[in-house]
Structure 1
């Protein structure tokens, strides 16, 4: 296979990947594939040059997740999580996100990201920003004390958020709540 053919094959693989892919520079989309556009509800030409911030439920979450991701990518060059993202029409959905820095010394300078819509196995309920933050940490297996420390809350406040999440998701206990948050069968 010649270099031209390899380049064409790579371009086809990127464009037709079964998950959304985006090549970013400083958290701005340079290029994305058809599945990425479909997932977020945009046309093919609408996302190039736009900040990833447009795909988050809030500017605060874009900032917070960015800080967490930058630190993790400085350590390993990679980042992965499951979080709530926002479609063009404002609809929220759970998304599995994976990132690889192409510039490890400054992780967001150039990076490649995959975005997979996992909303079929994990429905979204109406949550506040803080409840989404607590939910994400619970899905990671964090304790109430760890969540309180990470979010600069009292342990009682973290527990209150967890209790509200349990009620909103119809979970009888913490184990069932985590199962609902992670999409595992209950």
Structure 2
């Protein structure tokens, strides 16, 4: 073992090349199931709930990485046994000119703080941007949707999460105590 700090870090760590796992640490393997060797050379796609999610998040990830060299979000991921869970992902490209080529990523299981609710990709986008404090008009502009469409998505989110008002929804989505 050449790097005990990487191996025993209390957070899931992976080294990616072109979205292929080259190595991971013990905590990452525990979080997703299995042992470290089982992840070597595994496409990250296998840990996403769907191909569509992999592509959607990858496009957003690439755009932000090109601008800043790093990326962070909270998303649904899939364990090797198929169970879905909320995960916080943070990454930094080691090759800013080609962000996917080589990077280091951390993954944290945040499912205890987040209810597992089935959301469409668009509802997930609206939820994430709402938690960032954007207004319905700002979210609409970012997603190229009308203000009314964003309000309809928010109404469905309120219902799904059993929230009465937007601040209560944001609190539930962000895992804050109510």
TM-score, length of structure 2 as denominator length = 0.92
State how far apart, in whole Å, the 2-side matches of 1:109 and 1:145 are: 35
1:56 to 40, 48, 59: 48
2:58 to 61, 66, 69: 66
Unaligned runs of 5+ in 2: none
2:153 to 161, 166, 169: 161
TM-score, length of structure 1 as denominator length = 0.88
What is the match of residue 105 of structure 1?
Answer: 97
1:93, 1:123 within 8 Å by CA — same for their partners in 2?
A: no
Q: CA deviation at 1:125?
A: 1.3
Unaligned runs of 5+ in 1: 1-6
Give CA deviations for 1:38-95 in whole Å, capped at 9, x if unaligned.
1112332222112111111222221121122112212221111112212122222111
Deviates more, 1:77-86 or 1:106-115: 77-86
Moved over 6 A (4+): none
State how far apart, in whole Å, the 1-side matches of 2:16 and 2:78 are: 18
What is the match of residue 87 of structure 1?
Answer: 79
Q: CA deviation at 1:14?
A: 0.5
1:139, 1:181 within 8 Å by CA — same for their partners in 2?
A: yes
Q: Aligned residue pairs: how many?
A: 178
Give CA deviations for 1:5-55 in whole Å, capped at 9, x if unaligned.
xx94xx111011101000000111100111111111233222211211111
C-alpha RMSD of the superposition: 1.6
State how far apart, in whole Å, the 1-side matches of 2:146 and 2:80 are: 35
Deviates more, 1:82-91 or 1:169-178: 82-91
